Chain A
Amino acid sequence: MNEKRNIKLWVKNLKKYYPTIENPLKKLIKGQEYVKAVDDISFEIKKGEVFGLVGESGSGKTTVGENLLMLQKPTEGQLYYEINEEIKKEILEAEKNGNKEKINKLNKKHSLRKRKNLRKLRKDIQMIFQDPSAALNPSMTVFESILHPAKIHKIGDTKEERKQKVYNMMEEVGLTPVERFKDKYPRDLSGGERQRVIIARAMILEPTFLVADEPVAMLDMSIRSKILNLLMKLKEEFGLTILFITHDLATAKLICNRIGIMYLGKIMELGKTKEIFENPKHPYTKSLMRAIPRADPRERERDKNLPEGEIPDPIDMPQGCRYHPRCLEATSKCGWGPRDLKEHIENNLLKIYDEEEIEEMEFNFKEDKENNKLEIHDKKEICNYLEKKKKEDTPLMNAIKETNKNQNKLTIKFKKPKEPKRKETETRAACFYN
């Protein structure tokens, strides 16, 4: 293999949108909507490193893994396999100059969206799927499941040799005594035993690239440590590259060289593991760090200061910084708009009026997304409330650009929302203040 190809994978502006299935009428009115599972993310995995993806449940981590293997076709963006800084520069340059011919040529050579390159990746890569029961063939025994890929890829010269390899692998992952486990079917295994079959099945092919999606979530602490140790050994000895997807931040801290923190389809922060843990920059990262459960009941009552509000909807993303409605450090610049104000009014008026009255008021809101303004009709109570509230120094109120009162109509216009970007080389976190 080319030693200088030190970038194992470059994910560039990857997007994956899933169309929602709506009834035709709704579609006609609102247009086709999408779950923006992955919404323009870029990162690279260096050869021989463990790159961690952590973050919110539903933020698109598994989708990234699936796109990488082209199990799902990206909506937009590119994935380049085994390149180096020079090739990367060439691609960026060609893109800047709008040199389509050059881009096509480079894509043909390096992009995973080209069949030839994908075939090469598929030879090198193995995937450990998040849901072990869905990933195993129910009609194959443990032995057959692990042997199957070894046979296809012609690992080992003789039948006997292959068998021995399967047995060794089973020992490594603790499926022992081997004679007891080899003829069992997935339904007769515990959750963690199934997960270990999948690990063994992936590792027997001695991949150079491993995508491991929550690979040890169902293992007890002791077996977990042992298997992580095995992965680290393979990394040290054979330069195995790993994309490690996990919710377990302590494990990520221990084994990842770099990590990316995802939230609602975006990478919010990316950097060296050590730096992120010592000095997290993005407010979401900080919230995650505070919420890590501690294996000590005496720490139970500590203040975790969880982010506020509900998990937003990936179909109808918040504007500006997508984290702003829940962010504990947000300021007026972070993307506040009509929806936030409407929600604020509803939540706060609830304390003054009863629910039925509020429901009536709801009809008097008009959200104008395009112009980032909210119109409120008729309701004196709301107007009065806002008059008072506006004097307060809160990010939401400070984000208001102008207010117009016209008879019974109040129009509130917000500053134009901007989304903070994480520039690959300059900033670590996608946040206006870091």
Chain B
Amino acid sequence: MNTEQETGEKPNISIKNLDITYNYENDSEEVKAARDINLDIKNGEIVSLVGESGSGKSTIGSSILNLLPKDTLTRGKIQLDGKNLLELPENDIREIRGKDISKIFQDPMGRLNPLMTVEQHFIELLNEHTDFGKEKAIEKSIDALNDVGIPPNRFEDYPHEFSGGMRQRIMIALALVLNPRILIADEATTSLDVVVQSQILNLLRDVTEKYNTSILNITHNLGVVAEISDRVVVLYGGKVVEKGSAEEIFHKPKHPYTKGLINSVIGLDTEELEWVEGTPPDLVNPPSGCPFHPRCPQVMEKCKKQFPEQTGFNDSHKTWCHLYES
């Protein structure tokens, strides 16, 4: 469909017409986890990717580093420095991973090696990408841990000796220690108390300012999204349904799903729980037309047949919904 024309400077990383299908041509059913995704992130920009659980957020995040399982089909382009990351050989990608692009994974326990101390994790990473001597490597690591509030005397501990939030902070420190150009943060602050979370969000913002790092921030915490994002992209059933500045998404949401999502936020003044009625879409057989139509309170006949075209309200705010098509 349409590739987006961002105004202003050249994007740092640019995803174009990305399709991702799990179980491509194997015995299991094909899962169409992402369809025709277009997304740019500029230097120093923080873009949040939000959407239902199972809507394809982590899938998109993992595709950037080529971390998807073998029999997954990826079609489209993920462009960095004029190269399509999807076509790079594994060796080149490995160079980039952890150094130019790093990722904070959603499940720290699944990613940290239970047999390695925190120190060993850092040393391994730094040895792979730098020629720091041991002393410098340790110094760098301790600084990075200090930034996320892990005291240096825990340096030789193993992952299981830390709390959930501490493990998460170790992952953050690992992801930041090499000052990456692009950071993919997948639910990076879910296990943190709000004070530490605030400090980490400040740290992330500092990183974008100091090193011009671009951040793709994936999270369900809409409070965090509102605090930190320059722009927000809303995903539903593997498709982008709305994008805009934080101000636009929170104060002038257009798509019925975005409205439902924002409406279900539990805030300090919430008295009653609210949610979007219906069940998540089946990604093996995605709904025809607009993926949200089976649950949409404003559904019309044509919603069932045709995926809506893009409606742009201005340079940044766009939605894909028949309600707004002229």
Contacts and interface: CB of A to CB of B under 8 A. Distances in A.
B325 interface: no
B97 to A, nearest CB: 20
Interface string A16-28: 0010110000000
B273 A191 contact: no
Nearest to A216: B220
Interface string B161-195: 11111101100000000000000001100111111
Given A57-B166, A134-B109, A222-B261, A18 B161 contact: yes
Interface in A197-240: 214, 217-226, 228-229, 232
A300 B187 contact: no
Tell me which of B106, B191, B196 has the highest count of chain A C-beta atoms within 10 A of its own C-beta. B191
A221 B29 contact: no
A295 interface: yes
B265 A180 contact: no
Contacts of B57: 190
Given A180-B282, A214-B164, A229-B273, A221 B266 contact: yes
A288 B146 CA distance: 21
A55 interface: yes
A224 B266 CA distance: 9
B118 to A, nearest CB: 13
B284 interface: yes
Interface in A40-69: 54-59, 61-62
Interface stretch (B12-20, B46-54, B119-127): B46-54
Nearest to B262: A295
A292 B226 contact: no
A222 B267 contact: no
Contacts of B169: 57
A306 interface: yes
Given A176-B279, A247-B194, A306-B199, A293 B109 contact: no
A253 interface: yes
B53 A192 contact: yes
B53 A219 contact: yes
B119 to A, nearest CB: 13
Contact of A222 (B52, B110, B190, B195): B52
A391 B33 CA distance: 66
A328 B109 CA distance: 34
A298 B196 contact: no
Interface string B215-228: 00000111111110
A2 to B, nearest CB: 33
Nearest to A221: B264
Counting chain A residues whose Cβ lies within 8 A of the other chain, the interface size class is 35 or more
A217 B109 contact: no
Nearest to B192: A57
A56 B49 CA distance: 27
Interface in A243-297: 247-251, 253-254, 277, 287-288, 291-297
Interface stretch (A308-316, A355-363, A366-374, A379-387): A308-316
A132 interface: yes
Nearest 8 A-B pairs (CB), nearest first? A192-B53, A57-B165, A293-B223, A297-B246, A291-B194, A225-B273, A221-B264, A133-B107
Given A191-B58, A222-B260, 14 more contacts: A20-B157, A57-B193, A59-B193, A191-B187, A220-B220, A222-B275, A225-B266, A225-B273, A229-B273, A247-B193, A295-B250, A297-B227, A306-B199, A313-B151
Interface of B: 22, 29, 50-55, 57-59, 69, 106-110, 146, 149, 151, 153-154, 156-157, 161-166, 168-169, 186-187, 190-199, 201, 220-227, 229, 246-247, 250-251, 260-262, 264-268, 270-271, 273-276, 279-280, 282, 284
8 contacts: A59-B193, A131-B109, A192-B54, A192-B220, A295-B223, A295-B250, A297-B247, A315-B153
